[in-house]
Structure 1
């Protein structure tokens, strides 16, 4: 799917954001069309995670627009953004360590809409557990006692419980073994192909991300410097030199 084949579900225009007096995002433009997987790659400190957090209102955008389905959400508080069925699996997972796996998953459903029927919530839970069978074996276990890979599965599963129209993944492979990384990326691909789920993904593993994504953006020092299909960016010499040939960065 190309950026021009559909009106963007998410359209970011001229976005600026800062921490105090330090401007991190500098006139950023990003489009995510319905049904796309879009990857955002770049070095540490480029501003990728800040972009994700600004979509959720922390930090607040200083200038520009964040349009979701044509509606400017840049001034909305975080809980109202979540109610639009925008979900995030954040960097570092940020599960609730003292809550059980089951409680963590139900928190995801509550974040978006506390009025979901029990039958719908049960169906959603069955779907998540089918995607991540390991979680089914640990439903009563505290989240903080899970392995890193299991916690990542839980963070993504919690986000999926909100029935997202847009799923945002921040470093889903960070710190994971290669086998678990492949499993996570296989789930993302399956959700996109079978359910048409729209995904915006920040990922330092550029090779994995661009092979999975329909399109991608490269961020350097808070600015978008390159964009194109995943295949196009994989072939760009500057992308290969910076993010592929030197190994994972």
Structure 2
């Protein structure tokens, strides 16, 4: 993978982050860095705490201990709607598009974060990335296929021109061909535009092939980290996440 610079500064830092649901501790003091221009992935089994990590960055749930820092600013206690205005965009698990709105209206919602600055230009950009969405522009989001809905969720996030794009399980439930297409778009955005991406994925093979660096999470703890290639080569990673097909 190319796209990251060797002297990249951390754009996102998690330090000693602990998150709870009631009395249940979901994150147990995790440290994660995402440098400018990188694709960083967090892999792990279902229930490991990957989605909680992503939601904690957005302040829902809020970290009980530790710090979340974006571009040098401590955002740990910041309200979610203010975090969204800091050039961080999220494509959440389960897509969560607006099903009764058209594709076009969903994209307008993404652009509303930065008051529709560059709307026509950004619309053309996401339609170039996802030509299917241009064809489906007048259709209601709820009538799209799963793959099209995932494309729309990512496109909606891109409409705010984020410096950091956070993707939660973008391959979940999708056909292999669609997954390949979506991962190619992510790689292209990173390579051509230097977009920083933090990717949470159960599909470890695709995620580690795409990412510059990765973290492995087990039961709310980061247990391993390294380059995507290093983690792909680790026997324990292969045994836990890659054996028996991708």
Report the TM range for the smaller structure's normalisation.
over 0.9
Matched residue SS, 2:60: coil
- 1:2 is displaced (CA, Å) by 7.2
Superposition pairs for residues 154-169 of structure 1, below 5 Å?
A: 154-169=152-167
Q: Distance in 1 between matches of 2:60 and 2:47?
A: 17
Q: Are 2:243 and 1:242 equivalent residues in the alignment? A: no
Superposition pairs for residues 152-191 of structure 1, below 5 Å?
A: 152-191=150-189
Superposition pairs for residues 19-168 of structure 1, below 5 Å?
A: 19-110=21-112, 112-114=113-115, 116-117=116-117, 120-168=118-166
Q: Distance in 2 between matches of 1:217 and 1:245?
A: 18
Structure 2 unmatched ranges of 5 or more: none
- 1:113 is displaced (CA, Å) by 1.7
Q: Deviations over 1:216-241 (max 9, x none)?
A: 00000000000000000001110000
| CA RMSD, Structure 1 to Structure 2 (Å) | 1.2
Q: Distance in 2 between matches of 1:84 and 1:2?
A: 21
Q: Deviations over 1:49-77 (max 9, x none)?
A: 00000111100110000000110001011
- 1:7 is displaced (CA, Å) by 1.9
Matched residue SS, 1:162: coil
TM-score w.r.t. the length of structure 1 is: 0.96
TM-score w.r.t. the length of structure 2 is: 0.97
Structure 1 unmatched ranges of 5 or more: none
Superposition pairs for residues 207-246 of structure 1, below 5 Å?
A: 207-246=205-244
- 1:5 is displaced (CA, Å) by 2.4
Q: Distance in 1 between matches of 2:219 and 2:6?
A: 27
Q: Distance in 2 between matches of 1:166 and 1:210?
A: 19
